[in-house]
Amino acid sequence: MPAYLKLDHISKTFRRGSSETEVLRDINLVINECEIVSIIGHSGCGKSTLLNLIAGLTPVTTGAVLLEDREVNAPGPERAVVFQNHSLLPWLTVYDNVALAVDKVFGSTKSRSERHAWILHNLDLVQMVHAKDKRPSEISGGMKQRVGIARALAIEPKILLLDEPFGALDALTRAHLQDSVMQIHATLKNTMIMITHDVDEAVLLSDRIVMMTNGPAATIGEVLTVGLERPRKRLELVADPDYIAARESVLRFLYERHSFVEAA
Amino acid sequence: MLRATLKKSDVTQWAARFGRTVAANTLPPLICAAILFLIWQIVFGRPGATLPSPLTVWREAQDLIIDPFFRNGPQDIGLGWRTLTSLQRVGIGFSFAAIVGIFIGAVIGQSIWAMRGLDPIFQILRTVPPLAWLPISLAAFRDSQPSAIFVIFITSIWPILINTAVGVRNIPQDYRNVAQVLRLNHFEFFWKIMLPSAAPYIFTGLRIGIGLAWLAIVAAEMLTGGVGIGFFIWDAWNSSRLPDIVVALFYIGIVGFVLDRIVGAVGSLITRGTSAS
């Protein structure tokens, strides 16, 4: 099977005046179609930088991001991003936020009524049709993140990039949204890369977990394959030996071998 | 029966609360105004005072106060008409200033080098008093009407331009990222992200701008002549009609207040929901 997304010897150095900071060094990763890959690491290790590199929002210093064997070096709708702080436009309603994306990407290929149906379909995927006429300030944090996911899904990206999508949510809402993501993945089979710092989230959702070493010059320390059957049920997994083993090995990586040395 | 009584008392309660709110907001300014008028009357009511007292103004300029829209001849018209003429000039000059100011401000806000290079120049130009522009614009246009409009334009453009630039610079990176992922072009970015996001800043600029424009028109009309309220004051001064000037001052103050409130209200209506949450 050919690589769907390939990160080929990527490194990133930030320059500010005469000082240089090497954030990422020699990142190599191949992601297959329909796969969910989590990237986990301590804060400051360059996880979000890596996601921005894949999204094309930040240029790579050396190396290349290849999507279906073609280099991508600028942002584009085939790599949709779900931002950590939802990034909905506050002056638009929930519907219009999704419509902005849909009209731009499908403006020439879908008719007006097709686009309308498509917007509602995507809001329905995240159970947000009921709030379609509300503005972002009128809905809860979890709902905003749902709309952010709907906006990203609606442009039918080849790959969905999630930047700590549930980091700012409370535990119950987070669990709810994780279930939604698993459901969406079961239906649409999207390829997803998710940045997270939550070990349970990584094990529950991912096919593989990419563990990053600490910065500066962070790189991939280890890649763990999570072989749990789908669909995965949160409650059944609690006592599942494979789940426990996967969780343990991530924890060991993060807290034994690469524990965070500086004061957090 | 019981319900009916309850409802009735609800209504009276509501009316009482509404009445209290209105009274709380209108009574203090009315009382203060009355006291100020009283002081004014006491100070300038004596015989031989240099300025007219409120009662003198009322006696001698009654026609101007009672009917703003009379027409007795080409030069003998109500202050309402004169105010409208001035407002028309302000409208034209201010509209140009708004369009040009928002556009240039948006361009400058997008470019850090344009901002660094032009901001000091604008900061200097914006402190030039409106009337200092008048000779130059008279020389350039050789006509009083476009000169007055140009003075309005050049006075009110700076706060609009500078505020728009700051608003554009403060567009959150998140919104820019969204635009980049969707590959919005410059035009779409301007209309769909930049204008709404910078709207609170832009309206602050517009509000300062309309205030300055109204300040400038009176001064400009004093020198260029014509029909406006500014020329009326100059004319009244030349024919020693001090009470008329006092009435005109009230007109100018009230119209300026109303203009400010209109721009403020339009701003809060349009920017409703713009603040990020």
Identify all chain A residues contacting B196, using CB atoms and an 8 Å cutoff: 89, 91
**Å between B198 CA and nearest CA of chain A:** 11
Give residue B274's pLDDT: 57
A169-200 burial: b if 16+ Cβ within 10 Å, else e: beeebbbebbbbbbebbeeeebbbbbbbbbbb
On whether the CB atoms of residues A202 and A30 are closer than 8 A, the answer is: no
Same domain for B160 and B106: yes
Question: Given pLDDT bands bounded at 50, 70 and 90, which one contains residue A264?
Answer: very low
Q: Which two tokens stand for residue A242?
A: 């494979």
For residue B247, the enclosing domain spans 79-271
> pLDDT tens digits for B104-123?
999 999 988 888 898 899 98
Q: Do B181 and B105 belong together in one domain?
A: yes
Q: Are residues B94 and B205 in the same domain?
A: yes
- One domain, residues B136 and B7: no
pLDDT at B276: 43
CA B143 to chain centre: 25
Question: Chain B interface, mutation test: which of A81, A91, A158, most B Cβ atoms within 10 Å?
Answer: A91
Contacts of A90 in chain B (CB under 8 A): 273-277
Residue B219 counted as domain residue:
yes
- Whether B186 is covered by a domain: the verdict is yes
Residues B39 and B85 in one domain: no
B91 and B149 assigned to the same domain: yes
**Amino acid at position B178, single letter:** V
Query: Nearest-CA residue of chain B relative to A80?
Result: B181
Is residue B158 domain-resident? yes
Residue A169, pLDDT score: 86
| CATH code for the domain of B220 | 1.10.3720.10
Once rounded to an integer, what is the mean pLDDT over residues B164-178? 93
Nearest to B183 among A76, A87, A136 (CB): A76
**Preceding peptide of A216 cis, ω within 30°:** yes
**What's residue B169's pLDDT?**
93
Closest chain A residue to B193, measured at CA = A89
pLDDT tens for each residue of B15-70: 888 888 888 888 999 999 999 999 999 888 888 888 888 888 888 888 888 888 88
For the residues A213-228, what does the mean pLDDT come to?
A: 88
Interface of A with B (CB under 8 A): 55-57, 74-77, 79-81, 83, 85, 87, 89-91, 100-101, 104-105, 135-137, 155
Within a domain: B48: no
Residues whose CB is less than 8 angstroms from the CB of residue A195 and which lie 6 or more positions away in sequence, other chains included: A38, A39, A47, A48, A50, A51, A162, A163, A164
Q: What is the DSSP secondary structure assignment for residue A222, as one 8-state letter?
A: E
Clarify whether residues B32 and B87 are in a common domain. Answer: no
pLDDT at A263 over 70: no
Closest chain B residue by Cα to residue A102 = B182
B162 belongs to a structural domain: yes
B29 and B94 housed in the same domain: no
Residue B265 lies in a domain: yes
Q: B188-195, long-range: CB within 8 Å, 24+ apart, which pairs?
A: B188/A104, B190/B106, B192/A89, B192/A100, B193/A89, B194/B106, B194/B168, B195/B102
What percent of chain A clears pLDDT 90, i.e. is strictly above it?
A: 62
Q: Does any domain span residue B154?
A: yes
Read off the pLDDT of residues B70-106 as tens digits, 9 standing for 90 and up.
888 777 788 888 889 899 999 999 999 999 999 999 9
- Residue-wise pLDDT tens digits, A92-143: 999 999 999 999 999 999 999 999 999 999 999 899 999 999 999 999 999 9
State the count of interchain CB pairs (< 8 A) between A and B: 59
Same domain, yes or no, for B108 and B155?
A: yes
Q: Which residues of A touch B175 (CB under 8 A)?
A: 87, 89
Q: Assess whether B37 and B110 both reside in one domain.
A: no
Domain tally for chain B? Answer: 2
Is B145 in the same domain as B12? Answer: no
Contact A10, A183 (CB under 8 A): no
Q: What is the pLDDT of residue A1?
A: 56
Does B177 contact A81 at a Cβ distance shorter than 8 Å?
yes
Do residue B37 and residue B85 come from a single domain? Answer: no
Q: How far is A128 from chain B (nearest CA, A)?
A: 19
Angle between helices B195-224 and B229-238 (to 10 degrees): 30
